[in-house]
Structure 1
Amino acid sequence: MVDLSSSSVDHAKASWLDGVSPAYWVLGVILLVIPAFVSPFVMFQLMGWTFILGIIALSLMFLGGYGGMVSMAQMAFAGFAGYMVAIFGTSAVVTISQGWPWWIVIPLALFLTMLFSTAVGWLAVRTEGIYTIMITLAIAAAFFYFTRQNYDLFNGFQGFNSVLPPKLFGVDWRGPFAFYYLTLLFAVGCYGLVLYISRAPFGLALQGVRDNPRRMAALGYNVTAHRVAAYSFAGLMAGVGGILLTWQSSQISPGTVGISPAIDILIIAVIGGLRHPIGPFIGAFIYVILKTFAVDILVSLGLAGERFQLVIGIGFLVIVFFSPDGILGLCDKLKASRNRDPLTGKDRGDNPL
């Protein structure tokens, strides 16, 4: 049971960065200087896409890791935010896009995305297990077909193109250098926010709801409200990722919110690991590398490039088979094996007395 005493909450609020390993600070420095050593393709396509997918998968990790809820609608939330930016902002579809200024469009898109995710959460939290997965998957599928068949608001299967970020301070934020740091900034911000919330009173209560909802309800906590609030926050993060994804590709279409992208987000989160916020970014990096280069490797071997999904599926099965906690779980097992005495089977740091 999670300790929700005032002393533990105060300690968590005062030391929310204590759990950050020095390796993460080294990684942060590397990410800041890496644009000086890599090509624009690596900055914009590989790293930018990694950060974006990592943010969306992080929203799923927050629900699953801290709330014990699995949602298949995170890509729908991301796509919804992208559509709102295209509809209320500017695009090549001038008959639909309203052309409002960015400082109205972006907050409005995120606010509407939070309302959408709150409504989905209000429905989903009344189910458990496979039923939660099915209801969120059904909502994602319904949103996909609605955007594909609606031409008055979502422009049907064509969607919107030429959806570009605003040029603030005279900077083209879709340029490789600027876009890299833009996505890095939001990725670090979302990562830090999740890390902070997990140690804040709401995060601790949410973990208590995950572990023992009946006891938390007996202690006076509103279990449903905490779960719905978790969906709202996760939807906000997914919306941020969706806007960045729309800016990167400069378009949004039903293909962005299809069933396949929804499953990809789940695979990314599981491959990286659902028990720490860094996991989704690890999974996103692996996914982006495979999707970018696996097709070329398969073609060079004389195989069909469409078998890329088979490569992803096999890799997913292998990782889950050896470690249900993903890459992070494999790392922990490796550390434990190195510290274990081969003769006694105990950790070398254990006190024999």
Structure 2
Amino acid sequence: MSANKWRHATSTVPMPRHDRAAVSSASKAEARPRLKLAAATPPAVDTSPASPRRGMQVLRYAVVLVALAVYPWVASSFFTFQVAGQALVLGIIGLSLAFLAGYGGMVSLSQMTVAGIAGYAVAIFGQSAVGNISLGWPWWLAALTGVVLAVIVATLIGLISVRTDGIYTIMITLAIGVAMFYLAQQNHTVFNGFQGFSRVTAPVIGGISLRDPIPFFYVALTLGLSAYAAVKYLVRAPFGMALQGVRDNARRMRALGFDVTAHRVAAHAFAGLIAGIGGVLLVWYNAGISPGTIGADALINILVVAVLGGMRHPIGPFIGALVFVLLQNFAIDLIDRERFNLVIGGAFLLIVLFSPDGLLGLWHRARGYLHPATKR
């Protein structure tokens, strides 16, 4: 077969014009009812297991809230105040660090310093045993002033530290924390030196002192739940989504028109609000404050609390704080008190090595092994 015959045999025979018109009209007639049917058909009902899963999540939250509400009435004063109360206070301060590190990518070691500013403000502007320094303001005004000062200091720290990344941010915030420690220790006019402030008066409302175990637990629980809910809401808001974008790729977010520096500074201010609330509770819990409260050990302890529980989950710092407080109170029964830091350091290293996402990471991994269907 010649090449011309081969091309003629394999070429597509053109369809006559009247046949093409018939096929076109038939296809249009076929398409019309299909479009009408699609428009008239109601949207399909979502049969995915999201709704049952959401119902189970709401049920779990309700069970946890009921258990927390009943806890002080079934636990002793020691477990209500020394364990649960202290864990809630440290958890609130740790939450401020977890918000910055987990959602903003900024590991700040100055969150205890910010909390200490609020605590010192309560002691200076409120009532304490150091009558020549404390001004004796009403407790609510002193507490409000402390929180406002904490936000201002956190914003200033953010303005200094947000232009750096990684280890440089850690070193700058650590240097700020250590500088504040020596300032409080050496200044006797405002901070009363190494002695600090003792017998800081906690609020008394209706004849009930908020430093009593049960009232203090409920106050700390209410503020802790409020801080937790605020973080959960904010990370889903446009600001929180943009902040996470800055964490993942600051250069791309800047190219899209976002002000990276403003978002980071605003995150420090919000974290300062949370840390300030925790600082007010801390000075009420201890009934005083001293430079040791904001020393280098305290700065590192907040980092340990946040890492133990998991920085990527708002509930993580509270879990880490509970574990930290339990080890702090009961580890001395197994080892010497001087070796407590060795136990905490060992637990910290194990968590970092085997679960960078903290104890919650281990929990989710275990759930994934036991129930593969729930593994995400």
Q: Distance in 2 between matches of 1:35 and 1:115?
A: 35
Q: Deviations over 1:193-234 (max 9, x none)?
A: 111111111111111111111221122211100000100110
Shift of 1:170: 2.4
Match of 1:305 among 337, 349, 363: 337
- In the alignment, what sits opposite 2:346? 314
Q: Counterpart in 2 of 1:268?
A: 305
The residue aligned with 1:102 is: 139
Among residues 121, 134, 139, which one is paired with 1:84 in the alignment?
Answer: 121
Aligned-partner SS, 1:214: helix
The CA deviation string for residues 110-130 of structure 1, in whole angstroms up to 9 with x for no partner, is 111111010001011011000
Gaps of 5+ in 2: 1-53
Deviations 1:14-44 (A, max 9, x none): xxxx695642331111000011211111111
Q: Indicate yes or no: 2:214 matched with 1:177.
A: yes
1:230 aligns to 2:262 (yes or no): no
TM-score scaled by length of structure 1: 0.88
2:371 to 339, 342, 352: 339
Which of 190, 203, 212 pairs up with 1:166?
203
1 CA distance for matches of 2:147 and 2:170? 24
When structure 1 is superposed on structure 2, of 107-116 and 123-132 the one drifting more is 107-116
The answer for the alignment partner of 2:291 in structure 1 is 254
Distance 2:114 2:126 in 1: 18
Residue 208 to residue 293, structure 1, CA distance change in 2 (3 Å): same
Comparing 311-320 with 126-135, greater Cα deviation is found at 311-320
Deviations 1:284-308 (A, max 9, x none): 000000001101222xxxxx32111
Q: Which has the larger radius of gyration?
A: 2
Structure 1: runs of 5 or more not aligned: 1-17, 299-303, 341-346
Distance 1:330 1:349 in 2: 13
1:135 is aligned to: 172
Match of 1:192 in 2: 229
Match of 2:314 among 277, 281, 284: 277
Partner of 1:44: 81
| Superposed CA offset, 1:139-194 (max 9, x none) | 00000000000000000000001112221232211111111101111111111111
Relative to 1, partners in 2 of residues 1:167 and 1:231: Cα closer, same or farther, differing over 3 Å?
same
2:364 partner letter: D
Matched, 1:27 2:59: no
Note if contact 2:367-2:374 (Cα within 8 Å) is conserved in structure 1.
no
Amino acid at match of 2:98: M
1:219 matched to 2:256? The reply is yes
What's the RMSD between the two structures over aligned residues?
A: 1.6
For 2:140 and 2:326, the matched residues in 1 are separated by 34
Q: How big is the shift at 1:252?
A: 0.3
Superposed counterparts of 1:143-158, under 5 Å: 143-158=180-195
Query: What is the aligned partner in structure 1 of residue 245 from structure 2?
Result: 208
1:349–1:317 distance in 2 versus 1, CA, 3 Å: closer
